[in-house]
């Protein structure tokens, strides 16, 4: 399978490293960051590209634009992992539209395109016989979309609950374990590299809500957007609230929940009893699916990380290779 990697940040470099280290039958024939690109139908020298990126900040040739690679490289699947504006999902949406329009498969770790344009991209993919996969957009290394799409056949998912933002979970864990204030725990999260300089995207619940939108649209085809989610962040939680919860053998966590038959899509701090499967520590993510036959199933794993996210991207690529290799 030949792939083009669009975006050479943490995830893109993670994918390149895994492809380089493992014999997966994947060749990278196109590669671009926001300001340079490189194409080679026989396979790009990934180590050279990684070294060049580290030294110069460019993975390829400055005369080659990202869209030149999307439109011109010879590949079977586009890996769209470029930095993307959450407001409009660009430039990822344009890259994915161009690839699908060429009949190429697309795999992305970018939440924007899927949360903002799921139906449009899905329809475009179907009309060109191409696959669009996005396991990496939800809960990092946990293959929850694969499970939903392939492993629970015959089941109906009635509802889902999840801890979907590792930054918030880390802050709440530290507030509980060490009695820190929100500001102290946030400062620690920043030091550890778990929180951005502007943490509002995480702590206000936006990131978890985007994942909820993606899951809801994938499972139930609800066609919802961020505006349909009732969102409360964790930034107003006090040490007192956490202490009170703890005295009652419970803990506060930021829970994303979807219950379609009640019309409920919500991200909010919730009280969870000790011993509950969703009560994970630190930056872990967890998702519970409530199904009609299999009952409650909970999946726990790392929600972020270069190699962990690359794992989800690679899983999607190999799945496409196994099941849709003959499409083009």
- How many Cα neighbours within 13 Å face the side chain of 27? 13
Q: Which is closer to a second copy, CB of 73 or CB of 142?
A: 142
- Angle (deg, nearest 10), helices 10-21 and 306-324: 60
Q: Which two tokens stand for residue 55?
A: 């030294």
Positive or negative, the CA dihedral 324, 326, 327, 328 is: positive
Supply the minimum distance, in Å, between the C-beta of residue 326 and a second copy: 14
d(CA 313, CA 108): 7
Q: Which is closer to a second copy, CB of 177 or CB of 183?
A: 177
| Beta strand pairing call for 2-6 and 27-32 | parallel
Supply the minimum distance, in Å, between the C-beta of residue 53 and a second copy: 21
> What contacts 36, CB < 8 A, 6 or more positions away?
58, 59, 60, 61, 62, 64
Supply the minimum distance, in Å, between the C-beta of residue 317 and a second copy: 8
- Please say if 211 is a catalytic residue: yes
Q: Which is closer to a second copy, CB of 148 or CB of 209?
A: 148
Q: Which is closer to a second copy, CB of 132 or CB of 265?
A: 132
Supply the minimum distance, in Å, between the C-beta of residue 235 and a second copy: 24
| H helix or E strand, kind and range, residue 239 | helix 239-247
> Contact 241/195 with Cβ under 8 angstroms?
no
By CB under 8 A, name the binding residues for a second copy.
18, 22, 24, 141-143, 146-147, 150-155, 275, 277, 279-281, 284, 291, 293-302, 305, 307-308, 310-312, 314-315, 317-319, 322
Q: Which is closer to a second copy, CB of 269 or CB of 315?
A: 315
First to last CA, the chain: 11
Q: Which is closer to a second copy, CB of 193 or CB of 295?
A: 295
Catalytic residue, chosen from 53, 104, 211, 302, is 211
Supply the minimum distance, in Å, between the C-beta of residue 168 and a second copy: 17
Supply the minimum distance, in Å, between the C-beta of residue 166 and a second copy: 12
The residues facing 297 across adjacent strands are 289
> Contact 160/286 with Cβ under 8 angstroms?
no
Q: Which is closer to a second copy, CB of 80 or CB of 135?
A: 135
Contacts from 223-229 at CB under 8 Å and sequence distance 24+?
223/118, 223/119, 224/265, 225/115, 225/116, 226/115, 228/265, 229/265, 229/266, 229/267
Q: Which two tokens stand for residue 254?
A: 């930021």
Q: Which two tokens stand for residue 181?
A: 């204030």
d(CA 249, CA 268): 19
- Which phi-psi region, left, alpha or beta, contains residue 257 (left: φ > 0; alpha: ψ -120 to 50)? beta
Supply the minimum distance, in Å, between the C-beta of residue 272 and a second copy: 12
Catalytic residues: 211
């Amino acid at each position: 399978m030949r792939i083009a990697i669009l975006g050479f940040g943490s995830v893109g470099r993670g994918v390149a490293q895994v492809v380089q280290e493992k014999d997966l039958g994947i060749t990278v024939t196109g590669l671009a960051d926001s300001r340079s690109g490189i194409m080679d139908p026989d396979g790009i020298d990934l180590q050279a590209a990684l070294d060049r990126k580290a030294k110069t900040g460019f993975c390829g040739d400055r005369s080659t634009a990202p869209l030149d690679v999307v439109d011109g490289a010879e590949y079977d699947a586009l890996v769209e992992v470029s930095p993307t504006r959450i407001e409009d999902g660009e430039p990822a949406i344009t890259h994915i539209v161009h690839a699908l329009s060429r009949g190429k498969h697309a795999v992305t770790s970018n939440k924007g395109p899927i949360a903002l344009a799921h139906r449009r991209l899905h329809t475009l993919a179907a009309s060109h016989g191409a696959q669009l996969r996005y396991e990496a957009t939800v809960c990092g290394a946990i293959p929850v979309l694969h499970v939903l799409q392939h492993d629970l056949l015959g089941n109906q998912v009635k509802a889902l609950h999840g801890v979907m933002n590792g930054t918030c979970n880390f802050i709440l864990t530290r507030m509980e374990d060490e009695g820190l204030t929100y500001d102290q725990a946030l400062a620690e999260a920043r030091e550890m590299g778990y929180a951005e300089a502007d943490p509002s995207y995480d702590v206000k619940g936006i990131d978890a809500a985007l994942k909820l939108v993606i899951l809801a649209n994938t499972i139930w085809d609800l066609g919802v957007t961020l505006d349909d989610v009732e969102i409360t962040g964790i930034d107003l939680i006090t040490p007192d609230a956490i202490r009170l919860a703890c005295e009652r053998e419970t803990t506060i966590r930021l829970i994303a929940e979807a219950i379609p038959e009640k019309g409920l899509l919500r991200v909010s701090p919730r009280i969870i009893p000790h011993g509950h499967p969703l009560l994970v520590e630190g930056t872990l993510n967890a998702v519970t699916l409530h199904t009609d036959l299999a009952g409650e199933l909970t999946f726990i794993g790392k929600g972020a990380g270069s190699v962990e996210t690359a794992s989800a991207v690679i899983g999607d690529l190999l799945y496409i290779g196994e099941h849709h290799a003959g499409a083009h």
